[in-house]
Structure 1
Amino acid sequence: MFKDFKLIAGRPVYIQVKDYMKSLILRGALQGEQKLPSTRELSLLLAVSRNSVISAYTALEDDGFAYTVQGQGSYVASAAASDSTTAVSAWTMDWKTRLSSRALLAEELDIMKRGIRAGKGTISFTSIAPDESLFDLDNVKRAFLDRMSVEGNVLLNYGYAKGYKPLIDYLRQYMEHKGVDMRGKDLLITNGFTEGFDIVLSALGQRHGAVLCENPTHHTALKNLRLNGFDIRGVAMEPDGIHLGELKRALEEEEVDCAYFVPSYHNPTGIVMSPEKRQGLMKLMAEYRVPVIEDGFNEELRYSGSHVAPLIAAAGSGNSIIYLGSFSKVLFPGLRVGWVLADQELIYVLESVKRARSIHTSTLDQSILYQYLLGGHLEKFLKRARTEYKRKYELTMACCKECLPYSRISGDGGLHLFVTFPKGFSTRELLAACREQGVIFTAGDIFFTDGTGQHTLRLGFSRVADEDIRRGIEIIGRTARQLLG
């Protein structure tokens, strides 16, 4: 006994001693009313200071696991000790037989569990998260301290399901500056895009049980559509956005409950839908009376040309667009803050759905983001981030054009490029061969609604060093040529 104790760096020693002794009591190694070693003896056995053992014994008493007899020492409390005569017999259950079909489907669709792990030294193009070396840490720290000094006691208590009002007010103005008519509209703060999307889908009635979207599209969106029981009808993409002819055909052939579109820096293709197509799409949606869920993915990462207004701006005073926003790819994904902008009566209902699910989004996270935005840091940060991401974007594009035997490359900005190879080529086979050489990427078939796309891949460049971009794409290109023969 006492020989398996090991200290973990960075954690108070007395807590580690307390937890260790508690585990001995719980598993019956120390019995009720058994005298514990003296503080001096235990300090020698565990190779820790006596003061740490004294503090640990005091904490054990506070937790009800021990008691002290004056002049005699410390003893194990009977009530806390394991008693084999009264213990409930251990039994096991096959939990898979108790799981819902939704839970099993979620596990089946969870590509993160089955994805390729990037080993040490691997060049990974799989991520489209921001580059943490660009994070504006000093101003984030300042925002935290400033907000805590103003209302720290409030921020650490329960918040409101709808969200932190100062942030809601700020985002209203932010969306107005994007050209959105805010009359009759309202905002709900969520834990990023994913929760907002799931809340909206769960609240929509399924008259037809079907949704229209671009093909390919955001894999997380596909997963949530399937988990919520929707059939998915994908519409092909063109170089400037969704194919309007095929969209009209799909609307004529099948009634749908809603449509989901990613008009800016589309994931995975990186295409920015042209203004003309946005207008054409909106006319079709109005003609067929189909509400739209708009994913405002990476709108701020425009490297060239003028800003393109979101679909919800083109809707004017209409209320048929549900806009999902987030700063996750632009600022800090660790602050899980997103928002739903929609008709105020719809938001009134979604607020109740949000309250039933998670009570509220972290008020602390919301307040830090608000203070950061209020300080005018967003534009300064975006200017620096755009410059760096544009440089990496141009480097990655140049390397792809030089090294890859592609049929098409798309991506007008954002944090990734989408590469299409000749029909019949397998990027899964390419991925397996490249992995052996220390390079991985995301095979494109996971983004398609109909099981196609086996000849495509997505390259995320935001977190890859310049030299690794050059070397990694050279390896992908050389390997692809070998496979093509």
Structure 2
Amino acid sequence: MNKYFISLLEEETPKYIIITRHIKKLIDANKIEDGERLPSIRGLAEFLDVNNVTIVNAYKKLQSEGYAVQKIGSGTYAKRKDISKNFKKEYSEVLKKISSKALYEYIDFTGETPNNAFFDIGAFKNVINEVLDRDGAEALVYQEALGYEGLRESISEVFWANKVNSDDVLIVSGAQQGIDIVSKALINTNDSVIIERPTYSGALSVFKSRRADIFEVPMESGGVDVERFEKILKKNKIKCFYTMSYFQNPTGMSYTTEKKKQILRLAQIYDFYIIEDDYLSELIYDKDIEYRSFKSLDENDRVIYIKSFSKIFLPGIRIGYLISPIKFKDSIQNSKINTDISTSSLMQRALDLYIKQGFWKDYISNLNNLYKDRYLFTEKCLKEFLGKKVDFISPGGGLHFYLKIRDCIKVDSINLFRMAKNRNVLITPGTLFYKNPSDGRQYFKMGFSKTNENNIREGVEVLGHLME
């Protein structure tokens, strides 16, 4: 360990402060491991040519700041401070400080929406003009509680083959609002909910704000661990289960049809409801992945289905929809009205016409072709530059990969984020997706939707070097 202290004391700052800062950096970078015995006071004092009191003061400061613990008769030991709990604020502030202009200077692996360069803005502009010519001022002021009737009818016809009644479709301002209004309608303080582990941070925040008792079930290949899921159900009265059925955020995993049916059976037996966030299911690259939502398999009206157009279309239009069980239809609709009364009438009408004229189908088809190539290229780069440093499962669709840093690599995802940011590369550490943030320190999410192939290769190569 002594090699890390060479050339340390050339600053004018008090020596014990310099030593303290240096040891903290080594602990944070895992160069001094959690629980590792620090050098003896006399030994380190002799090595740095300082008096014993300097080292004593440094070790006391480390203890006061939570970076060390003293064991009587044994010595002082490093204690890795859990910085992951406060990291969410740091992460969001970093992204806010990087303006939209400055963002182009970064290789951005944090994006979760399609690149707007792939969107034909001209076609959408023509659709908006056509709506204004057709409906006039009514397009801007007319409101319906459930949402624009034409759009609800298009959703029923195009996406559900008329198997869902248009009156059962509620237009919302994106999936996040959908999760929020469903939670307000269903979940009270101390109600119990089950979530996937890890899960979408926005949903986790909503359930925490409702002061719900949150149970986690680990994600595995094909969906959550059903055996552990049922153990929770046997011991607790569960109100609902939140799930992302395709290309789950962040793991990228998708549920098998069989596992969906198992969970639907459990919902009927144990009397709970499933909140299905149908995330990016339009982007399926692996032909072996079959699209069948929980809602399409639901025979007992147990699924609250939420779909966002913002994720796959343009984030700025903020439109999605939900379909709820009859039991909760009125309460969820009232929750929506209490939140914002109505979603933009003009954007609803424009999206309706965009779907009716076939632009939506062509857009999704084009997006699949473009992103399948980028997905395969990213997968190739990960294997080439990170193959011996991380483990990951290829999701077969969606817009991101979820990677686990191997134990032999002495860096966690928070420190990797910080180092990568200094090299103009942005990633999303896994700590953001767990009820207990420290559980995600070995993981990070890497999206490829906002980055071209040249930058993907360069960015992954940078990450590989930093892990060394």
Q: TM-score range by the shorter chain?
A: 0.7 to 0.9
Look up the match of 1:433: 419
C-alpha separation in 1, matches of 2:354 and 2:178: 22
3-state secondary structure, aligned to 2:168: strand
What is the aligned partner in structure 2 of residue 420 from structure 1? 404
Secondary structure (helix, strand or coil) at the match of 2:177 reads helix
Does residue 243 of structure 1 match 2:225?
yes
Max radius of gyration: which structure? Answer: 1
Cα separation, 1, equivalents of 2:257 and 2:376:
24
Instruction: Answer yes or no: is the 8 Å Cα contact 2:278–2:306 preserved in 1.
Output: yes
Equivalent residue, structure 2, for 1:169: 153
- For residue 382 of structure 1, the aligned residue among 357, 361, 364 is 364
What is the distance in 2 between the residues matched to 1:111 and 1:357?
A: 29
Displacement after TM superposition at 1:171 (Å): 1.0
Deviation at 1:258, TM superposition (A): 0.7
Q: Relative to 1, partners in 2 of residues 1:184 and 1:162: Cα closer, same or farther, differing over 3 Å?
A: closer
CA–CA distance in 1 between the matches of 2:351 and 2:159? Answer: 16
User: Which position in structure 2 is the counterpart of 1:114?
Assistant: 93
- When normalised by structure 2's length, the TM-score is 0.75
- Bigger mean CA offset, 381-390 vs 201-210: 201-210
Aligned partner (choices 423, 441, 453) of residue 466 of structure 1: 453
Letter in 1 for 2:436: D
Q: Structure 1 length as normaliser, TM-score?
A: 0.73
Q: Which residue of 1 aligns with 2:64?
A: none
2:466 aligned with 1:476, yes or no?
no
- Could you tell me which residue of structure 1 aligns to residue 77 of structure 2? none
For the residue of structure 2 that corresponds to 1:213, the secondary structure is strand
- Cα deviation, residue 365, structure 1: 0.9
Counterpart contact for 1:185–1:341, Cα < 8 Å: no
- Tell me the distance in 2 between the aligned counterparts of 1:358 and 1:169: 22
Is the Cα contact below 8 Å between 2:308 and 2:321 reproduced in 1?
yes
1:397 aligns with 379
Query: Per the alignment, do residues 184 and 384 of structure 1 end up closer, same or farther by CA in structure 2, a change over 3 Å counting?
Result: closer
- 8 Å Cα contact 1:208/1:255 also seen in 2: no
User: For residues 18-59 of structure 1, what are the alpha-carbon distances to aligned partners after superposition, in whole Å with 9 as ceiling and x for unaligned?
Assistant: xxxxxxxxxxxxxxxxxxxxxxxxxxxxxxxxxxxxxxxxxx
> 1:131 — aligned with what?
115
Cα drift, residue 336 of structure 1: 0.9
Letter in 2 for 1:330: I
Tell me the amino acid that sits aligned with residue 452 of structure 2. A
After superposition, residues 332-411 of structure 1 pair within 5 angstroms as 332-404=314-386, 405-411=389-395
Conserved? CA contact 2:194–2:242, under 8 Å: yes
- How many residues get paired? 372
Aligned with residue 189 of structure 1, among 143, 163, 171: 171
Instruction: Give me the whole-angstrom Cα distance separating, in 2, the residues matched to 1:354 and 1:275.
Output: 31
**Corresponding position of 1:326:** 308
Distance (Å, rounded) in 2 between the aligned partners of 1:426 and 1:162: 46
Shift of 1:409: 3.4
Name the aligned partner's letter for residue 161 of structure 1: A
1:141-199 C-alpha deviation (Å, 9 max, x unpaired): 1110111111122111141121000001111123424xx84369711111111111111
Structure-2 change in CA distance of 1:166 and 1:126 (3 Å) = same
Q: What SS does structure 2 have at the residue aligned with 1:339?
A: strand
- What SS does structure 2 have at the residue aligned with 1:449? coil
Q: Deviations over 1:68-93 (max 9, x none)?
A: xxxxxxxxxxxxxxxxxxxxxxxxxx
Show structure 1 runs of 5+ residues with no match.
Answer: 1-106
- Rounded to whole Å, the distance in 1 between the matches of 2:91 and 2:463 is 22
User: 2-side partners of 1:287 and 1:111: how far apart?
Assistant: 43
Task: Sort the Cα spacing of 1:315 and 1:111 in 2 relative to 1 into closer, same or farther, 3 A.
Answer: farther
What whole-Å deviation, never above 9, does each CA across 1:378-417 have from its counterpart, x for those lacking one? 1111111111111111111111111111123342211111
State the match for 1:311 in structure 2.
Answer: 294
Contact 1:161 1:361 in 2 (8 A): no
Aligned counterparts, 1:228-307, within 5 A: 228-305=210-287, 306-307=289-290
Q: Quickly say closer, same or farther: Cα 1:450–1:286, change in 2 above 3 A.
A: farther
Indicate the percent of aligned positions where both proteins have the same amino acid: 27
Q: Is 1:455 aligned to 2:442, yes or no?
A: yes
Q: Residue 349 of structure 1: SS of its match in structure 2?
A: helix
The one of 160, 169, 182 aligned to 1:200 = 182
What's the offset of the Cα at 1:458?
A: 0.3
Counterparts of 1:375 and 1:345, CA distance in 2: 35
What amino acid sits opposite 1:176 in the alignment?
Answer: W
Q: Distance in 1 between matches of 2:453 and 2:146?
A: 42
Q: Which amino acid aligns with 2:341?
A: I
How far 1:205 sits from its partner (Å)? 4.3
Report the CA distance between 1:357 and its aligned residue.
Answer: 2.2
Q: 168-177 or 385-394, which moves further after superposition?
A: 168-177
CA distance in 2, matches of 1:326, 1:383: 18
Aligned AA for 1:442? T
Is there any run of 5+ residues in structure 2 with no aligned partner, and where? 1-85
The one-letter code of the counterpart of 1:435 is K
